[in-house]
């Protein structure tokens, strides 16, 4: 029996003119309007991105899981995320999945989340994506900061790069770049789309050579 193909991965990020993913206020409405066009089966996020949202989750409405929504998979190698129940019930995702490594600290046995363990000290992203593919996922959208995107780029696991460019210069305020520590995708880029969005944003959409 042949192995299921790994899901097609799109890294979708809001960026400043100098390539930062922090230090400015992104246009969330436009960002998620574009994100909806990808039709992902899985939203892949890093723990830092989720932890930044946890204070807001405390008071957010909880209509329950979105029946037709994507799965939220969180790369949480250090076991820091706590608000799994709130993430499931906030109405954006159909369910949640914790991605851990063998070396992830012990977790409470009664916590409300399924988990997938790959890798020893760090989450093996290639193995995690392969397992998601075996479970039926065909499309993954990365909704995260530069660390996770950079790790995926270094491993050759990104098929498309989608950048919503904002007309700001983050400068010293932009502590993180959208590509993390990656030197770039391991191959050339093919332009898929290049268009204005609203009055001042530009959407750059590339296919990688990976």
pLDDT tens digits for range 14-41: 999 998 988 899 999 999 999 999 999 9
- The Cα-based distances of 119 to 92, 99, 124, 127, 162 in angstroms read 28, 10, 4, 8, 28
Average pLDDT of the residues in 199-207? 95
Question: Both tokens of residue 191?
Answer: 């332009």
Does 28 lie in the same domain as 59? no
Q: How far apart are the first and last CA of the chain?
A: 25
Q: Are 116 and 99 in contact (CB under 8 A)?
A: yes
How confident is the model at residue 180, as a pLDDT? 86
Which tokens is 167 given? Answer: 């007309």
Q: Answer yes or no: do 150 and 130 share one domain.
A: no
- pLDDT tops 50 at residue 1: no
Contact between 103 and 74 under an 8 Å Cβ cutoff? The reply is no
Structural domain span for residue 88: 45-137
What whole-number distance in Å separates Cα of residue 94 and Cα of residue 91?
A: 8
Q: What is the pTM of this model?
A: 0.93
185: pLDDT confidence band, cut at 50, 70 and 90?
low
Residues 62 and 94 in one domain: yes
| Shared-domain flag, residues 101 and 163 | no
Q: Are residues 58 and 131 in the same domain?
A: yes
37 and 50 part of one domain: no
Same domain? For 203 and 172 the reply is: yes
Percentage of the residues of the chain whose pLDDT score is greater than 90: 75
**CATH code where residue 177 lies:** 3.40.430.10
Clarify whether residues 98 and 25 are in a common domain. no
27 and 49 assigned to the same domain:
no
Interval 108-164: pLDDT, tens: 988 989 999 999 999 999 999 999 999 999 999 999 888 999 999 999 999 999 999
Domain count across the chain: 2
């Amino acid at each position: 029996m042949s192995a299921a193909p790994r899901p097609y991965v799109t890294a979708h990020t809001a960026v400043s003119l100098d390539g930062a993913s922090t230090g400015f206020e992104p246009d969330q409405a436009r960002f998620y309007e574009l994100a909806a066009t990808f039709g992902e089966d899985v939203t892949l996020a890093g723990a830092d991105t989720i932890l930044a949202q946890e204070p807001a989750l405390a008071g957010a409405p909880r209509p329950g899981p979105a029946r037709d929504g994507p799965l939220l998979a969180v790369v949480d190698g250090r076991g820091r995320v706590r608000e799994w129940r709130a993430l499931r019930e906030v109405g954006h995702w159909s369910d949640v999945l914790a991605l851990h490594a063998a070396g992830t600290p012990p977790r409470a046995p009664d916590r409300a989340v399924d988990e997938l363990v790959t890798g020893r000290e760090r989450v093996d992203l290639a193995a995690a994506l392969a397992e998601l593919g075996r479970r039926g996922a065909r499309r993954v959208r990365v909704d995260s900061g530069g660390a996770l995107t950079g790790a995926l780029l270094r491993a050759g696991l990104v098929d498309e790069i989608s950048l919503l460019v904002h007309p700001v210069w983050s400068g010293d305020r932009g502590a993180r770049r959208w590509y993390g520590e990656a030197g770039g995708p391991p191959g050339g880029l093919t332009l898929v789309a290049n268009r204005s969005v609203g009055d001042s944003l530009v959407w750059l959409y590339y296919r990688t050579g990976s």
